[in-house]
Chains A and B, each alone.
Chain A
Amino acid sequence: MLAIRNLSKTYANGVHALKGISLDIPNGMFGLLGPNGAGKSTLMRTIATLQDPDSGSIHLDDLDILADKQSARRTLGYLPQEFGVYPKVTAEVMLDHFAMLKGVVDKKERKALVEALLRQVNLWEKRYFRLGTFSGGMRQRFGIAQALIGAPRLIIVDEPTAGLDPEERNRFLNLLAEVGEKVVVILSTHIVDDVTDLCPRMAIIAQGELRLVGEPLEAIRSLAGRVWRKTAAKEELATLREQHNLLSTRLVGGQPVVHILSDHSPGDGFALVAPNLEDVYFGELRRAATPVAQAA
């Protein structure tokens, strides 16, 4: 279990990226949802030993990640948000290189490992291709392969599905779900569906603070009977935003469709809908900064 306690970070430019975050993350997929700039990447990088917090602690079971980075790095798999490659190096050579850097110094072991990993992510056929020629999805799968080197107990994946087409995204998420059963996998994303589909547990982070920690289904259930939908005219939107707790507005066939949160019927064309995680997410974001809701 990954235990984060009172993690705070303020950047030199004054941005308060993390405000005393405390969080327990058990084995399995854990979704970290939040808008851009919420502090997700800061949190991810801090857990990945790439950045020091101003205060707080992170423990993976008995391992103090911040104090013993070297050991932490051996238990860690990290797929960063921006993941580049040496364009002229082949997949096999590159993976071999990362394996070496992680500490798989035995040549035979490394060779076997690289092969298994490439097969697992379905890149074995393409092992002699230069990484520069890979598509976005192939590159992300390669990213997962390198994150799996050395049987990590903690895998951090930062915005992995951004920019993937739906098919590539499915493939990628399946892969992630399989490896993520016995270890801690933190999936940071702003795509709500990723979390709904994969994660038994999740947290929502905004403005450096946790807004919600719990199980997605439980969180959705807490909104049952409270989310209302209406297809509105464009002119109405301002009024609706003023009068109601507006969760989201989206265009369906060119017409704005709004979701609002309300304990009783707001009447006038609103229909009750089954809540989804997106409603939870937007609900949390709209709420004034209040203590973390424990929905589990």
Chain B
Amino acid sequence: MLARILAFERRLILNSPLFWIVALVFGGFGFAMMASDNVSFGGGIGNVHRNAPLVVINLLAAFSFLSPLLVTIFIAGAALRDFEQNTAEQFFTTPMRKRDYLLGRFGGGFIAACGVMVVCALGLFLGSKMPWLDQSRLGATPLGAYLWSFAILVVPNLLFLAALVFALATLTRSMLYTYLGVIGFVVLNVVAGNMTSNLDARWIGALADPFGSDALGDITRYWSSNDMNTRLPSLSGLLLANRALWLAAAGLLLIAAFRLFRSDREGLRWSRRKKVAAAAVTVEAGPTNSRIALPEIVLQDSPAAHWRQFLHQTRFELRGVLTGAPFLVMLLLGLLVMFTVLTFSGEIVGTKVLPVTSHMDTVLRGGLGLFLTLVLAVYAGELVWRERSLRIAEVADACAAPNWVALAAKYVTLVAVIAVFCVAGVLFCIGYQLAHGYTNIQPGLYVKIALLTALPFMITAALFMFLQTISENKFFGYLLIVIFIVARAGLPIAGYNHPLYNYGTGIPVPLSDMNGFGHFLLPALTFRAYWGALAIALLVLASAFWHRGTALTFRERLRLARARLARSSGRFVLAGSLVAFVALGVWIFYNTNIRNEYLSEDASKERRAEFEKANRPLKDEPQPRITAIKTDVDIFPTDLRVVVRGHYRLENRTQLPITQFIVDLDRDIVVRRLDFAAHSAARIDRANSFTIYKLEQPMAPGAQMDFDFELEIAERGFSATGVDSAIAYNGTFLNNIGVLPQFGYQQGRQLSDRNDRRKYGLPDIPRMAPIDDMAARANTYISSDADWIDFETTISTSPDQIALSPGYLEKEWTADVPGQGMRRFFHYKTDTKIVPFVSWLSARWAVKKDRWNDIAIEVYYDPQHPYNVDRMIAAVKKSLDYYTKNFSPYQFRQVRILEFPNFHGSFAQSFANTIPYSEAVGFIADLRNKDDIDYVFYITAHEVAHQWWAHQVIGGNVQGATMLSESLAQYSALMVMEHEFGATQMRKFLKYELDNYLRSRATERVKEQPLALNENQQYIHYRKASVVLYALKDYLGEDVVNATLAAFIKAKAFQPPPYTTSYELLDQLRAQSDPKWKPLIADLFDKITFFDDRVTSATAKKRDDGKYDVAISLHAEKKYTDGTGRETPGSVDIPIDIGVFARSADGKEANEKILFLDKRSVADGDSTITLTVDAEPYEVGIDPYNKLVDRNSEDNRKKVTLN
């Protein structure tokens, strides 16, 4: 019997066009993912093969996210089919067993969904076989990975989802509740995903994610390129637990569905409803009618009547949607998503941010995204098909209300759904702010935020209505909607990133507490208006296509729609909105493609490649050095305009005469005047911001020259990627590399990704010059046309703002400038030579001043962000204290911190005695919990350290350069932090650094380098360096390391070219430390080293004298890897911490008592150690504080078994 039903189901599936359409769509997506050169999704970048096992698994896992669609189509469809089509009774009256019926229905849908995923995998497979793919980026076909994905992820996910949906569908017999379950499933995944950013909550997320993707992420978190290319994840740990958990849940759901299923008409009835139903039956129908005269009424058919019909129907639909339990549950789920985003987003090293309104804005506009889109998709389908699925349509259609009444009422209902979500979201955010003691509530701003949040959803909702209306049935409509959602997300990934053709998209509107929405708002609204106009047109079209009367073929409907349009006034609305759409589109195109340049990713790479081919030979052309920069910078914040009158003093420091100047200047900057020795323009390549000027008289070696220029940087509308943000109403931030001319061929413009280079026919070049390249050491890693310079600037700005630049304030005045009104001027000047990296900022700041000895400390901050200013000042003082004591004197008389708006980035950057510091980091950190890591203190200490590491000693432009600036700044900050907060906080911080390093290795595009040879790789020079340098200090001692650094500064500070290298520092280090540390130094700096240390068993025995003998079995192992992660064994030749700990009274690890802690030499592999301690031991550990790079730091400790 069961076999027969399954066969029946299979026939149904294979004959169903829906199955084939869905399968082809999925297969097509799969094929495109693999076969398109532009798509880099799933991790196939750098050295990782496009079809590497883990890439295949990630891709199939990603497609698995679409399985909710599959199960709703195939399982909910199958489960509800007999009820919707009234064949239920037929089935239930046949002598079929319940088990057979249920399993048949369930199995059929399940097989169909699996079938679609198989076609999808087939698409991936075929895609990887396409001849146009770069063969060097493909590995052997990982059949095992396909099988693994299906066995571990795809099929179990489908099984669980199918069980969920089937249970809901059979029990509630309601589509809406079924969708609700699916949405809840997605929400669980989102919530779990948010938890993975917090190292302590990560495991909860990995378990709770029903897709298993977070658990997979956990297992493969630290995989190298080589691992990704060769390994299959093991089914163990969190992944195994996760799979077991959700498979068990699937089983329970199926049992529940089976047990509670009733084959009569009524479905599952809850007891409360049963009573109501019973009451209805007892009321008897009463006698036959009595004759009642109907009142005289007038049927109206005027526009006013239509309007009232529309209002009425809107109320009717609203009541149907908003009062339903499903809506309430969806709303609560939405708030749950927001809550997890609020709780976990913005965290830096586990420390939360204050709930400022700009943060609430990212949560509101970002957090609701996919969730509300899905809710709208569900309701669009339900609303459009509501009358039809309830078989009310014939009566409603025969009523006299015009088509637009129903359509508009349903659309307004969707808008109301959006509004309820937005308002609830805003109230939730306000509540969250108040609950966290934040009282600066900005209702006016929230109104704007709510509108900006709602508009894109309204535009999307219109499209959903349209797609459902033109579809022949609800499921086809849903399919179109899903295709749209995937395409909208997929187009930019595939390199088609112009918002002009991606429905409903636009350009970012960042909200900054400092700047509000600023000048970003109008362009963003232009895009909203553009798509809004199309949305209106789509709604008019939808009303022309509106289902009324008997189902027709599409061709008939097309004819009917045309006829309806021809005689309705809707055609004027359609024409009007299309005209507006086109007009706005032309305006947008003018901005994005004419006033600004638009290049697809491909075209931009190609241009860079062409540029390199034509101009790379010029890279060794002798060029002048800038020895002094003097500028007058006029900032007009409200006009979004800056005028720069600049002066360079140039010198020929080469041995050759200079015949031509190669000038690089951003193509969008207008050169008003360029004044230097007699010259002619030999080549102007505006597209590449590149000009060659031929000097009539070559510049002789040693000669000096003036170079004057006047530039204008003005607002140019907006581009396809956004609005230029350098100049803002409040918070302008410019630097010389961005806006001043630079000399020479800029190697930074070259393509660096190896795969790109191969694709565009460029030879492989090193990402950075080798460390022994003396020619490259003629430059620092931040400038190729200057050494140490004199700097002087006058900045003017509007009178309500302060303008700042490196240097000491010589004079400040306000003057009425003809044609410009009142202007405020600041004149800054340095009295020592500085690194050629300077900035100009202007904003409305509050100022807090302090002193450390004779050094002035000033923090320029937004009046709304006073929270952590004192922490910053304290950090500056402690830093100056430590660095002057241990390294060298501070070369300036001031330290200034300047807050800048978040849209410039989330970083802080050290210019000479001046540190611009993003509002997004530090100023809004929530430091009220003293256990959290005070990263404000850390970042400040790091930036102050740069005044030594970069502004005193700076590396030549070769491998390892950033070790001398970033890594040493990291080390310096760690030391200041350790003295401030103690070792426990350090361990917490380093845990994040280690995690970040290990995780980022997989994203390496070229190859991982050892620290001393790192090629400006952030995960190495910041993250790994923290761990490595802390370990160095731990082994060698703080005094030895600091003495080395002091000696290094003494030798290299303010040196002329050739600039120093990381090897010179290491030489110094080896010279100043005990020779026994040479292997350690090599492991830390010259190699990529991993330890695998763990305690395998630990027992203790109480002795008669009250002491304890502790026996520890250890495993110690050292491995080296190459740049792609291939491992070779090493031998453990350095002593490692062995610790024995007693449990603290409060059970916290931070307060544990150390019974024994010492570095011990341990043998390779397994060994045992026996120790005697004074008190009862609780835990033992090898490298218990995770000072060494170890990919599994959890097993370094073990609880002691007492014998």
Contacts and interface: CB of A to CB of B under 8 A. Distances in A.
B299 A103 contact: yes
Nearest to B284: A125
A133 B277 CA distance: 6
> Which of B293, B297, B550 has most A Cβ within 10 Å?
B297
A180 interface: no
B312 A97 contact: yes
A184 to B, nearest CB: 15
Interface string B933-953: 000000000000000000000
A101 B402 contact: no
B1148 interface: no
A100 B313 contact: yes
10 contacts: A49-B398, A76-B398, A83-B394, A84-B390, A103-B300, A103-B309, A104-B299, A125-B283, A138-B285, A150-B299
Given A50-B550, A84-B390, A122 B301 contact: no
Given A12-B553, A70-B400, A103-B400, A116 B394 contact: no
B656 interface: no
A138 B395 CA distance: 17
Given A100-B312, A113-B294, A122-B289, A78 B394 contact: yes
B292 interface: yes
Given A78-B394, A83-B394, A120-B294, A175 B289 contact: yes
Contacts, number: 158
B295 interface: yes
A171 to B, nearest CB: 5
Nearest to A171: B288
Given A116-B295, A134-B280, A73 B285 contact: no
> Which of B293, B304, B397, B399 has most A Cβ within 10 Å?
B399
Given A49-B549, A86-B392, A129-B283, A105 B290 contact: no
B280 A133 contact: yes
Given A119-B290, A125-B283, A50 B398 contact: yes
B391 interface: yes
Contacts of A78: 394-395, 398
Contacts of A170: 288
B305 interface: yes
A109 B297 contact: yes
Interface string A211-231: 000000000000000000000
Contacts of B979: none
A151 B297 contact: yes
B300 A50 contact: no
Interface string B296-328: 111111001100110011001000100000000
Contacts of B297: 104, 106, 109-110, 112-113, 150-151
B289 A121 contact: yes
Interface of B: 276-277, 280-281, 283, 285-301, 304-305, 308-309, 312-313, 316, 320, 390-392, 394-402, 405, 548-550, 553, 556, 560
Interface string A117-138: 1011110011001100111011
A80 B397 CA distance: 11
Contacts of A102: 299, 399-401
A110 B308 CA distance: 13
A73 B486 CA distance: 42
Contacts of B281: 133, 135
B283 A48 contact: no
A89 B324 CA distance: 12
A178 B313 contact: no
B1202 to A, nearest CB: 66
A45 B399 contact: no
A200 to B, nearest CB: 20
B398 A48 contact: yes
Given A86-B390, A102-B400, A171-B289, 9 more contacts: A12-B553, A50-B548, A83-B394, A101-B396, A103-B299, A104-B300, A135-B281, A146-B395, A175-B289
Nearest to B389: A84
Contacts of B295: 109, 112-113, 116
A106 B396 CA distance: 19
A80 B280 contact: no
Given A97-B316, A100-B309, A116 B283 contact: no
Contacts of B287: 122
A120 B288 CA distance: 9
Interface in A190-244: none
A137 B283 CA distance: 13
Nearest to B277: A133
B549 to A, nearest CB: 3
A129 B395 CA distance: 20
> Which of A103, A148, A178 has most B Cβ within 10 Å?
A103
A252 B405 CA distance: 55
Interface of A: 12, 45, 48-52, 70-71, 73-74, 76, 78-80, 82-87, 89, 97-98, 100-106, 109-110, 112-113, 116-117, 119-122, 125-126, 129-130, 133-135, 137-138, 143, 146, 148, 150-151, 168, 170-171, 174-175, 178
A49 B395 CA distance: 11
A181 to B, nearest CB: 11
A213 B301 CA distance: 36
> Which of B285, B296, B390, B549 has most A Cβ within 10 Å?
B285
User: Considering the complex of A and B, which 7 residue pairs feature the smallest CB-CB distances, nearest first?
Assistant: A84-B391, A50-B549, A133-B280, A101-B399, A103-B299, A80-B394, A73-B400
Given A86-B390, A134-B280, A116 B292 contact: yes
B288 A122 contact: yes
A143 to B, nearest CB: 8
Contacts of A109: 295, 297-298
Contacts of A130: 276, 280
A7 to B, nearest CB: 15
Contacts of A12: 553, 556
A102 B313 CA distance: 12
A113 B313 CA distance: 18
Contacts of B276: 130, 133
Nearest to A99: B297
Contacts of A168: 285
B626 to A, nearest CB: 78
Nearest to A80: B394
Nearest to B301: A103
B1180 to A, nearest CB: 66
A51 B399 CA distance: 14
A52 B292 CA distance: 36
A85 B390 CA distance: 6
Nearest to B283: A126
B1168 to A, nearest CB: 73
Contacts of B288: 122, 170-171, 174-175
Contacts of B391: 82-84
B1159 to A, nearest CB: 74
A45 B549 contact: yes
Contacts of A133: 276-277, 280-281
A45 B280 contact: no
A85 B392 contact: yes
A125 B282 CA distance: 13
Contacts of A126: 283
A101 B550 contact: no
A125 B286 contact: yes
A267 B550 CA distance: 51
A152 B556 CA distance: 30
Contact of A73 (B320, B399, B553): B399
A98 B395 contact: yes
> Which of B287, B292, B293 has most A Cβ within 10 Å?
B292
A251 B768 CA distance: 99
B932 to A, nearest CB: 50
Contact of A51 (B286, B304, B405, B549): B549
Nearest to B399: A101
B390 A105 contact: no
